[in-house]
Amino acid sequence: MKLKGTQIFLEALKEEKVDIIFGYPGGTVLDIYDQFFKSNFHHILVRHEQGAVHAADGYARATGRVGVCLVTSGPGATNTVTGIATANMDSIPLVVFTGQVPTGLIGNDAFQECDITGITRPCTKHNFLVRDIEDLASTIKEAFHIARSGRPGPVLVDLPKNVMAMETDYDPACVKSRNHEVAYKPAPKKMANVLDMLNAAKRPMIMTGGGVILGKAADELTRLARQYQMPVTGTLMGLGSFPASDPLWLGMLGMHGTYYANMAVSHCDFMLAVGVRFDDRVTGTIETFAPNAKIVHIDIDPSSINKNVTVDLPIIGDTKATLRDILHYLEEHHYAPDQASRGVWLSEIADWREKVPLTYCPSSEVIKPQYVIETLHRLTEGDALITTEVGQNQMWTAQFFGFDRPNSFISSGGLGTMGFGLPAAIGVKCAFPDKHVVDIAGDGSIQMNIQELATAAQYNIAVKVVLLNNGFLGMVRQWQELFYEKRYSHTDMTYAPDFVKLAEAFGVVGLRATKPDEVEAVLKQGLAVNRPVLMDFRVAREECVYPMVRPGESISQMTLGSREMIN
């Protein structure tokens, strides 16, 4: 049957089982939006194109499916770049559709023309400019395949206006993708090498990253750790891949990791690193990272192996399949850890945990941000999907909200994008309308995309914003305190809106707590309302995130609040 490009576009989305798209209309995509009107396709109108990408990103992180957004050409397309780069750094599967001027005008500096494929080439997994309607359906199919396969990532598809207006014969059965899955199956010899290393180890541990969650391998990793009593630490992106309530969990490692996680990494003699990038915030000084350990690195992306940390045994493979192979091999060869040495190792870690627990100084006078997060965890019993902005709010959430399940911590890791949390929460809530979805935010970050409160209000997307309001760009101020002798250059944010009144102006419920004994009541009230809510908690202005590893130091050297650096 003959269909227009706009009709083929919708049919291709249906073939990919897309159930929601986040977007913002404009001239070059009006034909597509007219088709939405005719088909009642589930579309969420955001208030800024960056919000559309972050919402699709949040949806993808929470569901494990491909997130989808649509914007117009020119500034509409360029406004997506930060969101695309955010997804690319964290390997999140997205397909971003951008409008483009008609093919005959490309290169003529036409109104709202830009080379978005050229602009986004460094921050997409792949991108396409569709010049022929005959290629439209197959390109869309290929884009989804590329986005979700191997190491996931964002794919951009640029759609010229005239291509979408053309007609051609369309038969979904004839649409084929030119791309084929590359299967990485580790060699059996690798499993034997893992067994040999484990047999020689007295202080083994596991380091889990975002690749475990993306690879849906949390069950296998948890089974491996529990069966062989190996303690587990995680990167920011790995939170939730191993239950935080398990005694084997050491918390996050790295710059703001727990003392006992960083000490375990620094003293282990075997590390199984699964789906991690070994980024600088995790490793500290590379030369001193896990200096005594034989490191096995499992990753589906060959380019990640030996990129930052030179490892002893690289294993290129899907995390779930590889961990299954390791479990099977260890069971088949009757691996059993030496109980005496394992007991000594776990006891040593317990001593570190007791010596320097993850804690803070409570107050009856001023609200501590950590207390807000702990109370939120208690009231929800941890059964919530949490997004964050970036900065102190993000680190306190990683430290004090224990994540027991994968896909429950949604945050910008690699790029550290302020303004991510609110639109991401909207995407998460659209996917899971019956779950508590909470954006833990700072007053600096929330203002980056606060316009998306209107989106939440319009569709009654009942996200809850827990605003840790300290009147500063908190993490930047912390660095100025520690490294610039408290010269707070342009980080004071006390000139800000009344967030409660602003929330109400958007049609959102606004609540506020200014004293510790108001925190629980405000959280209970906010969580109980079936509407979007912004809760403004006026927290201690100069509270810092600790532990902290200073730039250029080993992760075994941590500053712990007012105490001296501990090594």
Q: Which residues does the annotation mark as catalytic?
A: 49, 111-112, 161, 475
Q: 10 Å Cβ neighbour count for 524?
A: 11
Element (H, E) at 45: strand 43-45
Residue type at position 416 = G
Can you tell me which residue has the tokens 């409160």? 453
Its sign, for the CA torsion 424, 429, 432, 437, is: positive
Residues 6+ apart with CB under 8 A from 537: 367, 369, 372, 466, 467, 468, 469, 512, 513, 519, 522
Rounded CA gap, 210 and 91, in Å? 8
Angle of the 339-355 helix axis to the 259-267 helix axis, nearest 10? 140
Cβ atoms 547, 560 nearer than 8 A: yes
In sequence order, what DSSP letters do the residues of 278-347 get, joined into one string? --HHHHBSGGGSSTT-EEEEEES-GGGTTSSS--SEEEES-HHHHHHHHHHHHHHTT----HHHHHHHHH
Residue 145 phi, psi dihedral angles, 5° rounding: -65, -45
Pairing of strands 249-252, 167-169: unpaired
**Cis peptide before 547, with omega less than 30 degrees from 0?**
yes
Distances (CA, A) of 339 to 193, 205, 336, 346: 21, 15, 8, 10
Q: 10 Å Cβ neighbour count for 329?
A: 16
| Token pair for 506 | 């958007």
Residue 426 phi, psi dihedral angles, 5° rounding: -60, -45
Residue type at position 254 = G
27 closest CA partner among 102, 132, 81: 102
Rounded CA gap, 65 and 47, in Å? 23
Rounded CA gap, 558 and 321, in Å? 36
